[in-house]
Structures are given as structure tokens and as C-alpha cells.
Amino acid sequence: MGCCRKWGSLFAGIGKRIICFSFLIVLITVFISPLSVRAEDGSLADPEDKIIRVGYYENEVFEEGAAVGAVKTGYAYEYYRKLSEYTGWKYEYVYGSFQELYDMLVKGEIDLMAGLAWKEERASIIAYPDEPMGNETYTLVKHDRDGTVSRNPKTLRGKKIGVLRSAMVDELEKYLVASGTTAKVVIFEDYDSLFTAFDTKEIDILAAEGYGTREREHAEVISNFGANDYYLCVNIKRKDILDELNYAQLQLSVEEPSYLSTLRSKYYASTISSRSFSESERTWMSEHSSLTIGYLENYLPYSDTDEEGNVTGVIKDLIPTILESLDISGIDVGYVGYRSYDDMIYDVTRGDIDVAFPVGGGLYYSEENGIYQSNAVISTSSDLVYLGEYNDDVVTHFAVNENNKMQYYYIETNFPGAEVSLYPSIEECLDAVLAGEANATTLNGLRANDILRNRKYSGLSLKQLSMADDRCFGVKIGNEGLLKLLNRGVNIIGPEYARNMAYRYAGLLYSYSNMDMFKDNVWLFLSVILVIAVIVILIRLLRTRVQLFRMI
């Protein structure tokens, strides 16, 4: 019995240890094993993902889609996505008005909110990062037919000015005091009610974020009344998020220093400020009822003259679209084609034409030619065209079209010291490369593939070059008003419009002749001919046999 009790006691002790050890394993498993967390969309999220609560309010251009299931776009939304690439954040969007979300940020109910200007009284209740996410100009906008209001701030006296409850209120009041005028300032809690009040003329003047408000029908910018940097602000209790935000912004500025300017160009091209004509632009429009465009022939998809003598290519669609986008009417547009780039530039400098298209080569050569270059209508690569295997000698001798100085400027800029041989056309340049008279030539990136599809050039090879080659409008130096109008139009329609038009016309560079079809299918043609010949021979042999049989 004593022995049994001894063994029983021993087994009981071992059992307790096993139970304790098993319990410890369970605890370790619970705390170490990943937990399944459901994200906002219902999918399983990794527990290591940091869920950030973002205050997301509806604001034209800046952040749109402030509702569950709505497609989100805008400057701030894209900025959130970019930061996530550095931080790994996943976002839970919380919707509401600007004021509601700001109150939630102060209370710590959300973690982030974009678009807040720095104010001293806010610095103790919300956290600001080291760098702003952008800067904003505040703009006064009137109804275009209201002749009682002008750029003179005195004309604002007695007018109703609508403004969002934000940093703009302080800036507006400072402006009115500095201008020595009084107006009735009406504060709105959200953008929808503010814009509705302006559109229905409940207010006379709209105080808007000039870069962040889409263009409105029958609206005209009066003047700017202030400016501010704006920030992506953080719940003051979340120093961990603030530290990660500062790191992400620093890395973004190092790795993509032009990111913010690119983002601004993408979203703010069609804002109210983009339609605010300068004095020089208005002067040009008041003094001109016609616009003459010079264009380079034999340069599809950009420009050419068709078989009926009419302009074709991108330029044909581009000018009417720009005028329409700027809401400019009553301008008669005419076109003049040129075989030579130099002749076109000469005519624009002496005033025979108003605009030359396309021009290129960069600022130095445009200054040498006496013209301004507009913003790039299309920016693309150039392609190196050569025969045989590529080596360093390929770029030592170029065939260049003497009627297209843009090609010459590109080679002089990017391959200084290379030998240049001039030919009357790009086709003869390609022939020269095929014949070994030159090592290489270049083709604009939107032209190369379709030109080289022609069977004649099937033996040539193509290599994309890294140096961009812009195609722009050119106007005479001093013609400031027209240049600004063209730049404004290019910015509004955006880079994709001209590129899409280019693809439509690029196919005209490729022609497939009957001879090409024969050469591509020579063995098929020979086989058919052989079969026909065999059939003819067999028929003749058969007829001969029949005749012999009848003679017998």
C-alpha cells in the first residue's frame, strides 16, 4: 500500500507538471500566434498592420468620395496612399464635415486629418508634422456678370462673402481690415452648402481655395487674399504615428523630390485659379480676332498636310480643344504648313504666323531662335535607330534631317562631338543608315515604331534613349499674353489628351503596299504558282493522251 501511495504521489506530481507545462504552452501560443483582424472592407488583415483612422471629408479636387463604397480620388487621397508605401499603414476612413472631423481629431477619436493650416492655438491640441503636405492660395471669386465687383477691394463693401469655417476666415478678415473695407462674412460648415450658396447667388463672393476648387460656370476670379501651408495633422496622443509620418515625409522628399509639384499639376490643372486670366492674356484676347498656326509638314502624328491640302495630325484637334477649354470664342483659326523648321521659326519671329508647332530643343535653342517655348504639349523619349549590333561607335556619326532642326538640337545636346551628316528627309536619313553612310539616326518616340514597321526598314534596330524630348508651341519673344494662354490651355487639357490624339494619327506613318504583301508571302505566291503550273501541265498531258487515244 505504501508503495502504491508513493507511485501515486509520483504520478500526481508528474501530472501537475504536465498540466502546468501544457497551460504554459497554450498561453505562449495565444500571445505569439497571429490574430485574424477584419479590415474595413471585411477582409482578413495581418495583426502587424497598423490601422490608421483617417478623417475624410468631401472637398472638390482635394479629397473626393467621402462615403462608404464611394470611389476616392484627389490630392489628399493620393498623398495618403503614397505615405502608406513608406509606413505600411492601412486606413479606416471616418466620414463627416470638416468641423465634425476636426473636433474628432482634437478628442483623439481619429488619428489623421489632412488640409489643416498652422495656427498657434491649435499647436497644443493637435500635432503638426515637420513638413507641410502642400500650400494653398486663397481666392475671391465673383459671378462673371456682376459688374459691381472688381479687383479693387473697395468694391467688396456691403457684399456677402461666403467662406468655409477654417483658417481662411482669419485670412479673409485680415485682408478686409488691411484693405480698409467692410463686407458681410458668411461662414459655412461644409463645402457643399458653401458652393450651393454661391451657385444660387445667395452670396455675392466665394472665398475659395484657389488651387483646390474645380472651375465653376460663370465664375471669375477677382484676386487672392492670402496663402498658407497646410498639413496632415495627427492626434496629439499618437506620437508613434507622428514619428512615422515625419520619417515618411523625409524619405519622400529625398527619393521623389518633385512628388508634391507633380501631384499639384495632376489635380489642380482645372481649378478656379487655372481660369483666372492675367492682364496680358486679356489684352491679347481683346486685340485679336484671329490666330494663325504654323505647323511642320511630314511630321505625323504631330502635324502634316493631307492629300486635299488640309492640316492633319494632333495640331488639328489641339488648338480648337484649347480654345474651348479656356471658353474663348470668336477667334478664327488658320493654318500654314512648312516643309522646313527654320522657315517656320523665321515666320513666327517676324509675325507672319502667331504660333509654331511643334518646336523643341530646349530653352537655349529657343532663345537663340528668338522664341518662347510653351509648356510641353507632349513629352516623350527619342529612339536611336541603327544597323547591326549596338556598340559605342553607333553614336559617333548621325544622319540628321536638315529640315527638322529639333532632331539636330537633340543630338547636339545629348551627343556632343558626334559627327553629323545632313539629308533632305528622315526617310533619306534611314536610307543612309541602311547603306552604311551613317551609323545611326534618331526618331521621335511617337513616330519610331510605325515608321520602322515599313518593310523597307525591317533590317534596322531600335534602342530607346533615356533623354526626354519635348514638343511644344513656339511664340515670338515678347508675346507674353499668347504664351500664357497656351500654357494655361495645355495645363487644363492635361498630357493624356495630346498623347491619345497622337496614337490616332501615328498609324498613317505605316503603309503596306502590294509589293510588301508579295514579299512577305513570297513562298505562298510561289507555291500557288507552282500548283497552278502543275495543274496546267497535267491538263495538257491529259488532253494529249485523249487526242492520241482517239487517233488510235
Q: What is the mean pLDDT of residues 436-454?
A: 93
**Domain tally for the chain?**
3
Per-residue pLDDT of 108-167, as tens digits, reads 999 999 999 898 899 999 999 999 999 888 889 888 778 898 888 999 999 999 998 887
Does residue 300 sit in the same domain as residue 396?
yes
pLDDT in tens, 297-350: 999 999 999 999 999 999 999 999 999 988 899 999 999 999 999 999 999 999
Average pLDDT value for residue range 174-203: 91
Task: Answer whether residue 121 is part of any domain.
Answer: no
- Of 499, 546, 220, nearest to 380 by C-alpha is 499
Q: Is 467 contained in some domain?
A: yes
Give the model's pLDDT for residue 524.
67
Say whether pLDDT at 463 is over 90: yes
Kindly report the three-state secondary structure assignment for every residue of 412-465.
HHHCCCCEEEEECCHHHHHHHHHCCCCCEEEEEHHHHHHHHCCHHHCCEEEEEE
Q: If we measure between CA atoms, which residue out of 264, 293, 425 comes closest to residue 352?
A: 293
Range with the lowest mean pLDDT among 50-59, 222-231, 374-383, 541-550?
541-550
Mean pLDDT of 7-11: 42
In terms of domains, do 470 and 540 share one? no
What CATH number is associated with residue 364?
3.40.190.10
In sequence order, what are the residues at sequence separation of 6 or more whose Cβ sits closer than 8 angstroms to the Cβ of residue 128? 116, 118, 122, 231, 233, 234
Question: Average of pLDDT values for 407-421?
Answer: 96
pLDDT tens figures, 275-302: 557 778 888 999 999 999 999 999 999 9
Provide the pLDDT for residue 275: 56
**Banded model confidence at residue 270, pLDDT cuts 50, 70, 90:** low
For position 214, what pLDDT does the model report? 55
Clarify whether residues 381 and 528 are in a common domain.
Answer: no
* Three cell numbers, residue 207: 472665398
Phi-psi domain of 186 (left: phi exceeds 0; alpha: psi -120 through 50; beta: other): beta
Instruction: For residue 216, tell me if it sits in a domain.
Output: no
Q: Are both 344 and 441 inside the same structural domain?
A: yes
Share of the chain above pLDDT 70, in %: 84
Question: Is the CB of residue 50 less than 8 Å from the CB of residue 87?
Answer: yes
Indicate if 490 and 540 belong to the same structural domain: no
Question: Quick one: cell of 113?
Answer: 486629418
Confidence check: pLDDT of 459 > 60? yes
In a domain, 428, yes or no: yes
Residue 540: which domain range?
521-552
- Taking residues 465-474, report their average pLDDT: 93
Tell me which residue has cell 478678415: 173
Residues 477 and 502 in one domain: yes
- Report how far residue 432's alpha carbon sits from residue 423's, in angstroms, rounded to the nearest whole number: 9
Q: How far apart are CA 216 and CA 238, in angstroms?
A: 39
- Tell me: do 552 and 498 sit in the same domain: no
Report yes or no on whether pTM surpasses 0.85: no
| 422-435 pLDDT, tens digit each | 999 999 999 999 99
pLDDT class for 527, splitting at 50, 70, 90? confident
Instruction: Tell me what the mean pLDDT of segment 450-466 comes to.
Output: 91
Task: Report yes or no on 203 lying in a domain.
Answer: no
- Please indicate, yes or no, whether residues 485 and 357 belong to a single structural domain of this protein: yes
User: Is 244 within the bounds of a domain?
Assistant: no
In a domain, 412, yes or no: yes
- Tell me, yes or no, whether 549 and 409 share the same domain: no
pLDDT of 511 higher than 90 = no
Map grid coordinates 457643399 to a residue: 192
Structure confidence at residue 7 (pLDDT): 41
pLDDT at residue 539 in the model: 83
Q: Domain check: are 392 and 484 in the same one? A: yes
Question: Does pLDDT of 542 surpass 60?
Answer: yes
State the residue for C-alpha cell 543630338: 411
Same domain for 413 and 552, yes or no, is no
How far is it, in rounded angstroms, from Cα 348 to Cα 542?
78
Q: Confirm whether 239 is domain-assigned.
A: no
- What pLDDT, on a 0 to 100 scale, did the predictor assign at position 375? 92
pLDDT for 276 equals 59
* Cβ contacts of 237 within 8 Å, gap of 6 or more: 108
Q: If pLDDT is split at 50, 70 and 90, which confidence band does 1 have?
A: very low
The reply to whether 350 and 435 lie within a common domain is: yes
